[in-house]
Structure 1
């Protein structure tokens, strides 16, 4: 009987230790592929990825409460280390307030376009004020994550209201993929914007994850 209790205790102890050694990355579903790719390329097997709905990209008011709940769930599992795989992403500082209360860090930058490009370089590029950005994810999911949430499929007359002040669409690509480039060009044509392609790779996402 004592031996059985010891086995159970040892199993629980091993589980607790394993959980403490993990890093739970709570990330936007829109960067799931990229997080997985960086982890595979850099041997980051200790990272335990948990993604929140990518569509929150269009509803940023849901991000901070969702992160708070996901942090609580991770701690209930006994996860010792947690990292937030979001930039501010339109939360207006609310995500930072959650992170400060919970004592966790997040990816630096205002949004994913910035950290893919590189936060320092992005902040120094004044030309981007009139640019609308796509990532690989948004090039793949342009209709579902741009056209439909804005209602442009139902009310195309709204297009000038949303995009009249933009000059160009800038595709920040993580992979050099001809099919995705074609989709991005088509998106630029749909919006009536000039098209610009910039290969960024994973930018600051790599250093954020390898530094954990």
Structure 2
């Protein structure tokens, strides 16, 4: 499996970036993924011998600026086609683009992973939709547990203006940690994040949810 990535926040194991088997671009599926799920895409590919996938990760921080996602994807699709890839898949949910990614998919003739966001497809889209009690929940994934300071605290200015916590999180009741790997250190980080935000804490192990099936299907 080949890996390209954009953005310094994406840290991948060196061995994961080595191709397990050389293939031509015409034989590979070019997966353009959000950097926030890079580790999970690599793990699913490694566990299921999906060595035909060529992975390109766009900056995870774009979730704080969703207006950048569709133009970035459009550019990445064009670059992939220029490089000779005919099979392209987007490892993105809607991700706050208000249907923008779906419109891009229709225009470019590509598909994306189903769901409104990664919290949903990690849980399993059907199961996530059935949970009415989650409307007042703030979610973390493994990535966000690792990067809570960089992707939540600093962008929202909570380190400089702690009074903003009530403005941003006053309507939430609990922090739900949806974990992809059972990691006690990350569980401690997630619990600390809940304490910092003044929210109840709930832990749910999801594994890779619908991401596994989506990558296997391409």
TM-score (norm 2): 0.89
In the alignment, which residue of structure 2 is the partner of 1:11? none
User: Runs of 5+ in structure 2 lacking a partner?
Assistant: 1-22
* Structure 1 residue 65, shift from structure 2 partner: 0.6
Tell me which structure has the larger Cα radius of gyration: 1
* Partner of residue 86 from structure 1, selected from 92, 95, 104: 92
* Structure 1 residue 56, shift from structure 2 partner: 0.8
Please give the per-residue CA displacement for 1:16-46, whole angstroms capped at 9, x wherever unaligned.
x821110000000000000000000000000
Query: Is 1:42 aligned to residue 52 of structure 2?
Result: no
User: Runs of 5+ in structure 1 lacking a partner?
Assistant: 1-16
Please give the per-residue CA displacement for 1:166-188, whole angstroms capped at 9, x wherever unaligned.
00000000000000000000000
Question: SS of 1:154's equivalent?
Answer: coil
What CA distance in whole angstroms lies between the structure 1 residues aligned with 2:46 and 2:85?
21
Which residues of 2 match residues 155-170 of structure 1 at below 5 A? Answer: 155-170=161-176
Which runs of 4 or more aligned residues in structure 1 lie more than 6 Å from their structure 2 counterparts after TM superposition? Answer: none
Which residues of 2 match residues 50-199 of structure 1 at below 5 A? Answer: 50-199=56-205
In the alignment, which residue of structure 1 is the partner of 2:3? none
* Structure 1 residue 49, shift from structure 2 partner: 0.3
What CA distance in whole angstroms lies between the structure 2 residues aligned with 1:173 and 1:186?
15
Report the RMSD for the aligned CA atoms in angstroms.
Answer: 0.7
What CA distance in whole angstroms lies between the structure 1 residues aligned with 2:109 and 2:206?
30
In the alignment, which residue of structure 2 is the partner of 1:203? 209
In the alignment, which residue of structure 2 is the partner of 1:5? none
* Structure 1 residue 161, shift from structure 2 partner: 0.4
In the alignment, which residue of structure 1 is the partner of 2:32? 26
What CA distance in whole angstroms lies between the structure 2 residues aligned with 1:135 and 1:58?
15
Q: How many residue pairs get matched? A: 196
* Structure 1 residue 60, shift from structure 2 partner: 1.0
